[in-house]
Chains A and B, each alone.
Chain A
Amino acid sequence: MEAAVEFSGEQTTENNVRRDLLRPLTGASGQYLTAVVLCSAVVIWALVAWGYQIHYGIGVAGINRPVFWGFYIINFVFWIGISHAGTLISAILRLTDAGWRKPVTRAAEAITVFCLMIGGMFPLIHLGRVWLFYWLIPYPNDRLLWPNFRSPLVWDMTAIFTYMTGSVLFLYLPLIPDLAMMAKRSQGVRGFLYRKLSLGWTGSDRQWHAMERAMKLMAGMILAVAVSVHSVVAFDFSMSVAPMWHSTIFAPYFVAGAIFSGIAALVLVMAALRHFLHLQHYLRPLHFDNLGKLLLLMSLIWMYFTFAEHLTVWYGNNPAEINVFNVREHGVFASALWCMVTCNFIIPFILLGVRKLRTITTICLASVSVLVGMWLERFLIVVPTLSHPPLASGWGAYTPTWVEWSITAGTFAAMALLYLLFVKAFPIIAIWEYEDDH
């Protein structure tokens, strides 16, 4: 096995690859431990807040009549959106056989799994009676009760379970060769765990062939599933008769927004990995530059959808819709709206569109801006519509409480925590991809 990988002039041998990529798995710096403790503390605080809400009733959140959905649904859409980072990007790069995908795919697939775990919690957190959530599941029961398959929420649950299953497999399959390799190098509990998880992988031709076919198949399927998932999330809104929700453009608009925010999240995770795990040799400026261009493309697509949506509503001048439009455009939500446009379009357009400005730092800045903007976008979809129902007597306002803020903060901490634990347990870049032309 004299396989070598070329890195623009320098040669990295297999041993170097293993050394570099397995280094993060052993030991733990003070910095790492501090981060884990801090994130855990925030997550625990969020769980306390959730427990408080379950005990006293969902009234401890700021949602009210008519704003029956608030931060929880905004966060739900946000996290499910980011989950598209992974699988979609990694599936596209795998299917197109893009050579530069090697160090990107696993980091992206892990984002997907964690974001789905987090995003998938929100429909539960927001339930009035969370202890009965399983009534949405079509399980056999002696009362012969079924969920209502006409409800977009049931579609939603089905889509998210499917996506979750698919993306866990999509993350796990290409992890197997690395697990087998690590099983040989580790002892004790860790070795046992890796051995069990590697499912008897020996690296025979037959196994490689099977995995290759499985990955091709999974990549194709996961693309379809990912598109369907965010379409269904969009259907939660567009199937209603609420003004500015009932829009045919929502499904593709949401999918585009999801990929947009997903790329932004991927860029930030990659930058963090590059910096903290010293992976400068692997996550190179080229990767950031390519993702930066993708981000720019998605920014343009997002702006196009946003413009089309707003122009249509404004020109149509339907009384119920124009009320919501006005309150977004000139009313209390105007600052959020223009902030969203700045974050999602103006800043990325300048930072990524001007080639001279496009560096790893500015791509990261643009990504932060996009994440803020896309969170605001979901806020602007959920709240103005609900606070301005067709009959003016029902109009209201929404102020989130500490419970909603805590749980929201907790999800960001949970994302960081899951990632911190993941990089300690598994190599974040697929080692076998560098080792041979399998």
Chain B
Amino acid sequence: MSMDLVQIETDSSRSDETNIPQWGMAIDLDRCSGCEACVIACHAENNIPLSDETAASEGRTNHWLRIDRYYEGEFPDIKVKFRPVMCQQCDDAPCEPVCPVYATYQNEEGLNVQVYNRCVGTRYCANNCPYTVRFFNWYDPVWPEDLNLQLNPDVSVRPGGVMEKCTFCVQRIQRGKREASADGNDIADGDIQPACVQSCPAEAMVFGDLTDKNSKVSQWSQSGRSEQLLDELGTKPRVFYLEKGD
């Protein structure tokens, strides 16, 4: 009986127009083949400068989304596990309180947003990010000839001296909301897909509203295989990794 009441309440709050979605992502590591299509898609979508040999040797590569590789066993009997790591959009994000100018904060949809114009470049947020997923623009960005003509008009090009990181493709979220409101519809699960999710050939990634109990991301995140990265730190990440126990 009480269960039903809770269910009704939840449903009514879902249909309430003021309900604010809480974005989250789930990644099935058992499906991930480490192909890095998501990394390429992320670069293309978000106007991320290309990282060349010099950048790599200086320790200044910039990939909002990277694939961490974990090796088990000894060569040649070796097993590799892949884990795509991007900003975990923590609910208790360590990067946020340390910024002296509020250039990074939690928005009402649970996104850990970065305000490029406001950033003065103390880089404190990056030091305090246990996932090392914040990237600094050491110089003004440059693209090889012709590639500078294909920048995504929906995404700011960040100048030198500011911090940047994965936004969960906030521009796609905004567009999804605009289109849904123009059509007078609710945003359906799967309508909004960050570039990485959209490009994953193994469909290892899902994105959606964590307050919608029927969304794929809610169901995946509730799975017994679900875990959060470095959850012992209490950062409450919005990214859930699914992996079968050994």
Contact = CB atoms under 8 A, between A and B. Distances in A.
A147 B103 CA distance: 10
A397 interface: yes
Contact of A390 (B120, B130, B135): B130
A interface majority secondary structure? loop
B100 A154 contact: yes
B41 interface: no
Contacts, number: 140
Interface stretch (A131-139, A190-198, A429-437): A131-139
B68 A393 contact: yes
A57 B140 CA distance: 7
Which among B60, B123, B128, B159 has the greatest number of chain A C-beta atoms within 10 A? B123
B219 interface: no
Interface stretch (B31-39, B91-99, B106-114, B146-154): B91-99
A232 B223 CA distance: 44
Interface string A54-97: 00111100011111110000000000000000000000000000
A238 B140 CA distance: 32
Nearest to A320: B130
Contact of B132 (A129, A132, A153, A391): A391
A58 B127 CA distance: 16
A148 interface: yes
A133 B139 CA distance: 18
Contacts of B61: 65
Interface in A376-402: 386, 389-391, 393-394, 396-398
A350 to B, nearest CB: 37
A128 B136 contact: yes
A210 interface: no
A386 B127 contact: yes
A311 interface: no
Given A59-B160, A136-B101, A240-B94, A68 B123 contact: yes
Contacts of B121: 58, 127-129
Interface string A19-57: 000000000000000000000000000000000000011
Interface residues of B, number: 44
B87 to A, nearest CB: 13
B97 A148 contact: yes
Nearest to B127: A68
B162 interface: yes
B120 A58 contact: no
B60 A393 contact: no
B144 to A, nearest CB: 18
B130 A58 contact: no
Contacts of A69: 123, 127
Contacts of B143: none
29 contacts: A57-B161, A58-B121, A58-B160, A59-B60, A59-B160, A63-B123, A65-B132, A65-B135, A66-B59, A66-B126, A68-B136, A128-B160, A128-B162, A129-B160, A146-B102, A147-B101, A148-B99, A148-B101, A150-B97, A150-B98, A151-B124, A152-B98, A152-B124, A239-B98, A241-B94, A241-B128, A390-B131, A391-B229, A393-B132
Given A65-B136, A153-B98, A390-B233, 6 more contacts: A128-B136, A128-B163, A151-B98, A151-B99, A241-B128, A386-B127
Interface of B: 58-61, 66, 68-69, 85, 94, 97-102, 118-124, 126-132, 135-140, 159-163, 229-230, 233, 235
Interface of A: 56-59, 63-69, 123, 126-129, 132-133, 135-136, 145-148, 150-154, 157, 236, 239-242, 320, 386, 389-391, 393-394, 396-398
